Every structure is written in C-alpha cells, then in structure tokens.
Amino acid sequence: MQQTTLITGVSSGIGLTTAKYLLQRGYTVYGSLRGGNAGADQLAKYPTFTPLTFDVTDRPAIHAAVQQIRETGHQLTGVVNNAGVAISGPVETLSEAQYRKQFDVNVFGLLAVCQETLPLLHAAQEAGLSPRIVNVGSVSGYLTSPFTTLYSASKFAVEALTDGMRRELLPFGIDVISIAPGPVKTPIWAKGREQTAAYRGTRYEKVLEKLGPYTEAAEADGVEPEVVAEAIYKALTDEKPNPNVLVMKRGWLVKLLRLTPKRFQDRFFLKRLAENRRY
C-alpha cells in the first residue's frame, strides 16, 4: 500500500533525515519548509517528495498546505510533527517573546497541524487505512534540566497532547505516538549556543562558563539523526507500536531517575552541571 506522510520542518536535522528515510522506503512525503532552505535541494531529487511552504505558527498557511494535499487525492496516512525550537536561558531572564515562541512553535504549532490534518486522517481510516500521528517530543519532556526549563515545559505538553489525543482518537482508529529523543547531532545545538545573551549582565552569567562545556558534552555524546528516523519509521509501520518511545543512550537512567524523589533529582542535576556532565 502507498504510504503518504506529512513531516513538518524538513530543512535540517531529524526532519530532513526522516524525510529521506521514508522516501528511500517508497513513501510519498510532503515536507514543510519555510522557504530558501538547503533541505529542499537534498529532497528535490526524490520524485515522491513535495515541498509545502508553511510556518507552524501560521494557521491559514497550514490550512492552505493541507488543502494542497487534499486536492491530490492522496490518502494521508501519517503526520510527523517534528518542527521545533529550543529556547534556553534562565527562566528569570527570558523575554515574553521568547517564552511565547517556545510554546507557539512546539505546542500550539503541533496542535494546529493536528487539527488541520485530522479530517484527512479520518478519511484515510474510513477508507480502511491505519493513520498515525507521530509527535517528536524530547527527553526534556520526561525530566527537566535547569536552563532549558521552557523547552522542557513545551515537551511535557507534547507528551500530554500525545497521550490525551491518542485516548480521544483510538476509538476512531487513529494512533498517536511520541518519539522522544535524547541528544541528537543536529543544527539545533548550534542555534542554542547563540542564545547566550539571556545570561549576560545577570547574576546567572557565571553559569554560562559551566553550561557551554555541559552542552557540548551532551551534543558530542548524541546519536545520529538516522537513529531517530528509524524510530519514527517503526512508529509509523509497527503493528502495535509503543506509544511513548525514548530514543537515547542510557535511557534507562532517565526512566529510573524519574522514579526518584524530586530533591534527589535536584541534587543530581546540580552535581552533573558542576561536573559538566548531562545524563
């Protein structure tokens, strides 16, 4: 059966890699770009790839893009909500524009894409197919590290949206799954490094000295984006996929840490930060 999937944010990183991964396995892929991106050149050689231009915070643009899919007559069998941003910095110093953007993209953008595509997913299910939504969460939706608190809050929201929507949609034959990566080697880390202005001239300035090496160590220990692409593919194709998948080295440690008292977790994070080690 021909599988047709929409992936948001295919210009780089996990979205670009997942698009290639699915295209190489015979999928028809619609990928969202925001214009003038390198990702488009890499994907253009695949005849079953169609770029769509929209920002996930622009509801009318999402609507128009979904209408484009509808007009092809393709049955949409998968939606991968991958587009995301990671805003870091002490909560005390983040501007309103920064904290709103974090939720506008990672949470409300994802929600808008789900709402706009669900009529097509229902239609696919009514035609006898098994449509799925895969939300790209994060280990930050399992545990909250200091200085990526707003990002974590947005990814905890992604987990809640995933579980709640799955329980609303399973009676209609639509599955909703979260793939939560730990550190992955993608451009998102470099984008984060530019956000140091949040610390300058504040009492948190000293933390920056620690946070640089701490973040670099986490990125260096990250997995390749292909590992996440494979997990997304499994979520789209396995007969009975795990609804919440943590994709990271030492994921067991995160799962264990989540069961410990919060004061223990506090000490763990502060000690790791002091030693320039993540988890």
Ligand X SMILES: NC(=O)c1ccc[n+]([C@@H]2O[C@H](COP(=O)([O-])OP(=O)(O)OC[C@H]3O[C@@H](n4cnc5c(N)ncnc54)[C@H](OP(=O)(O)O)[C@@H]3O)[C@@H](O)[C@H]2O)c1
Residues that bind ligand X (CB under 6 A): 8-15, 32, 34, 37, 55-57, 82-86, 105, 109, 136, 138, 181, 183-184, 186-188, 191, 222
Catalytic residue, from 27, 151, 199, 233: name it.
151
Nearer to ligand X, 75 or 138 (CB): 138
Rounded distance between C-alpha atoms, residue 279 and residue 223, angstroms: 14
Contacts of 67 (CB under 8 A, 6+ apart): none
Nearer to ligand X, 13 or 78 (CB): 13
Known catalytic residue at 142: no
Rounded distance between C-alpha atoms, residue 22 and residue 29, angstroms: 7
**At closest approach, how far in Å is the CB of 121 from ligand X?**
20
**At closest approach, how far in Å is the CB of 27 from ligand X?**
18
**At closest approach, how far in Å is the CB of 246 from ligand X?**
10
Nearer to ligand X, 173 or 251 (CB): 251
Residue 279 CB neighbours (<10 A): 18
Residue 229: half-sphere exposure toward Cβ, Cα within 13 Å: 21
Strand partners of residue 181: 247
Rounded distance between C-alpha atoms, residue 175 and residue 80, angstroms: 12
Nearer to ligand X, 167 or 249 (CB): 249
Nearest Cα to Cα of residue 141 among 181, 111, 81: 181
Torsion of the alpha carbons at 19, 25, 28 and 34, rounded to the nearest 10: 10
Catalytic (active-site) positions: 151
